[in-house]
Structure 1
């Protein structure tokens, strides 16, 4: 771990990431990179360049991808891994994390979340505000669990999937890679084909 943190992305999701980092109080300084060249600061923190400048800061900063889009976050995270960047895990102090929980590098766990025991969360995931993940879940890499989503026990979510705000997943359910579950939807059966699923219970659209 380094004494300085650099966040790629200074808009909505990046701001929340920065807020978590500030509250963790582990870095002497925090700054942003953002491709909007007119942006000079965000959250009171300096924007010191664009995403292309990240390679000049690898030795001095921990680097975190503060971008909400799963595909974009995955692409940048994998580049950072390739060049040996130090990628932290960000967990809000008001999150509740159970025993024997594994969380991958580059994952952000937001305020008010609950992650219960024996759950594994992959790298560069978003566990968003007020969501709950119960015992023995397995969340793949580059997944976004939106605010207020609730996953019961022994749920599996495949890589790159996105569970919308307020969605609910019943226990012992498996959701395959690359799925989008719409806001407020309820999943009561396994989802084996990638796609967009909405409704109560969900159906593929």
Structure 2
């Protein structure tokens, strides 16, 4: 198995792999040449070639970086491995397209989550929610029924999104925010209730 990324997020990925007895032959990739060792025992490779494993997982937690690494490893002929943490409940009626789910998450019925997205520790995603590709639902976030979230979004830790809200593409929701209105593409919203602090191109 290859972990793509060697920062803090990769440590959590490592723990999930360890809990699944998937550390044999572990390889680590990170573009930062200042990083030399991971977990004090794994040499970090800085080139996207020469890996022995056929499978990779994403050890990074930002939407755009997840997409870049996913694309790079797929181009090398590698296959994405979707992580499943412990004690998470995923409805059999949910559709997850190469999605990582960390520990203690809830994903309800008729939920659809796009390629390369991440549901981080303790997040809850309730019935009929739709989430696009390479979006990140951070720890403890609560996404209530029939919410729609676009591509490349980051939903902050502990944020709450009320039922039926529509969130565009490349949106950032601040930690702890409570979203009670729709959010346009590329906006950042923070606070209780959440208000826009700018739109980014």
TM-score by length of 2: 0.89
The answer to whether the 8 A contact 1:110-1:128 is kept is: yes
**CA–CA distance in structure 1, aligned partners of residues 191 and 34 of structure 2:** 41
**CA–CA distance in structure 2, aligned partners of residues 27 and 188 of structure 1:** 43
The answer to whether the 8 A contact 2:35-2:44 is kept is: no
The answer to whether the 8 A contact 2:105-2:119 is kept is: yes
2:83 maps to what in 1? 90
2:9 counterpart (1, 13, 34): 13
**CA–CA distance in structure 2, aligned partners of residues 19 and 77 of structure 1:** 20
Compared with structure 1, are the counterparts of its residues 204 and 85 closer, same or farther at alpha carbon in structure 2 (3 Å cutoff)? same
Provide, for residues 100-158 of structure 1, a one-character-per-residue CA deviation record: whole Å limited to 9, x for no partner: 222222x3211111111221111221211111001111111111111110000111110
1:78 maps to what in 2? 71
**CA–CA distance in structure 1, aligned partners of residues 43 and 60 of structure 2:** 15
2:49 maps to what in 1? 55
Q: How many residues align?
A: 197
Note the C-alpha offset of 1:44: 5.6
The answer to whether the 8 A contact 2:102-2:120 is kept is: yes
Unaligned runs of 5+ in 1: none
1:1-205 equivalent positions in 2, closer than 5 A: 5-26=1-22, 28-37=24-33, 39-43=35-39, 46-50=42-46, 52=47, 54-57=48-51, 60-105=53-98, 107-205=99-197
Provide, for residues 26-85 of structure 1, a one-character-per-residue CA deviation record: whole Å limited to 9, x for no partner: 4533231223445443236513411x2x3322x633112211222122112122223331
3-state SS in 1 of match to 2:189: strand
**CA–CA distance in structure 1, aligned partners of residues 111 and 21 of structure 2:** 26
Unaligned runs of 5+ in 2: none
**CA–CA distance in structure 2, aligned partners of residues 25 and 155 of structure 1:** 35
RMSD of aligned Cα (Å) = 1.8
Note the C-alpha offset of 1:192: 2.5
TM-score by length of 1: 0.88
Compared with structure 1, are the counterparts of its residues 80 and 39 closer, same or farther at alpha carbon in structure 2 (3 Å cutoff)? closer
